[in-house]
Chains A and B, each alone.
Chain A
Amino acid sequence: MEFLNVVEIESALIGLASEYPTISQLITLPFWTFEGRQTHALLIGTGNGCPQTGVLLIGGTHAREWGGPDICINFAADLLEAYTAGTGLVYGGTAFTAAEIVSIIERLDVIVYPCINPDGSFYSHNVFDMWRKNRNPASSGGDPKKIGVDVNRNYDFLWDYKTKFAKGANPNSLASDNPADDLFHGKAPFSEPESQNVRWLYEQYPQICWFMDIHSYGGDFLYSWGDDVNQTTTPDMNFTNGAWDGKRGVDKDEYGEYINGCDQAQVKAVAEATVAAIKGVRGEPYTAYQSFFLPALGLTYPTSGASDDWSFSRYFTGSASEKVRAFTMEFNAAGTFFPTWPEMVPIIKDVDAGLVRFCLEALPTYTLPWWKCHLKDFYYDIWHRVFPPELWGPYGPWERFRRVVEAIVIPIIRPIIKTFRNR
Chain B
Amino acid sequence: MANQTGSDGADQPPGNEYVPPDLYAARITGSRETVAKVLQEPGLDFGCRPHGKLNPDGSSTLLVYATEERIAQLQSAGYQVERGENVSAIGRERRSEIGKGDRFDRGRIAPRGLGEKPGRDRKGGPA
Contacts and interface: CB of A to CB of B under 8 A. Distances in A.
B72 interface: no
A18 B52 CA distance: 45
Interface string A329-364: 010000111101100010011001100000000000
Given A171-B40, A299-B39, A337-B87, A19 B110 contact: yes
A375 to B, nearest CB: 29
Interface in B93-127: 94-95, 97-100, 102-120, 124
B48 A8 contact: no
Interface string B68-111: 00000000000000000001101110110111101111111111
A11 B95 CA distance: 20
A89 B116 CA distance: 6
Contacts of B117: 78, 81-82, 85, 87-90
A251 B73 CA distance: 29
A124 B45 CA distance: 16
B91 A338 contact: yes
Interface in A59-101: 62, 64-66, 73-79, 81-82, 85, 87-91
A8 B115 contact: no
Interface string A26-52: 000000000111000000000000000
Contacts of A298: 32, 54, 60
A3 B53 CA distance: 30
Contacts of A36: 8, 10
Nearest to B6: A7
Nearest to A96: B115
B57 interface: no
A14 B47 contact: no
Given A125-B98, A130-B91, A145-B18, A12 B111 contact: yes
Nearest to B21: A128
A405 interface: no
A404 interface: no
Contacts of B54: 296-298
A170 B36 CA distance: 9
Interface stretch (A211-219, A227-235, A253-261, A381-389): A211-219
A172 B17 CA distance: 27
B48 A78 contact: no
Contacts of B102: 7-8, 11
Interface in A285-343: 294, 296-299, 301, 330, 335-338, 340-341
Q: Which range holds the interface residue count of chain A?
A: 35 or more
Contact of A85 (B52, B108, B114, B124): B124
Looking at B4, B46, B118, the one whose CB has the most chain A CB atoms below 10 A away is B118
A127 B22 CA distance: 12
Given A129-B94, A296-B52, A345 B114 contact: yes
Given A8-B103, A65-B48, A81-B113, A125 B95 contact: yes
A89 B5 CA distance: 34
Contact of A352 (B18, B109, B113): B113
A240 interface: no
A182 interface: yes
Nearest to B62: A297
Contacts of B95: 125-126, 129
Contact of B13 (A8, A75, A126, A218): A126
Contact of B112 (A65, A77, A173, A352): A77
A129 B119 contact: no
Contacts of B105: 11, 15
Given A17-B107, A218-B48, 20 more contacts: A5-B99, A11-B102, A11-B107, A15-B109, A18-B107, A64-B91, A74-B111, A76-B113, A81-B117, A82-B117, A90-B118, A127-B19, A129-B94, A129-B95, A145-B18, A172-B44, A298-B32, A301-B50, A330-B48, A352-B114
14 contacts: A2-B98, A3-B99, A4-B99, A5-B4, A6-B4, A7-B11, A15-B109, A81-B113, A89-B117, A124-B91, A125-B95, A172-B39, A173-B46, A301-B49
Interface of A: 2-8, 11-20, 35-37, 62, 64-66, 73-79, 81-82, 85, 87-91, 122-130, 132, 144-145, 170-173, 182, 215-218, 220, 294, 296-299, 301, 330, 335-338, 340-341, 345, 348-349, 352-353
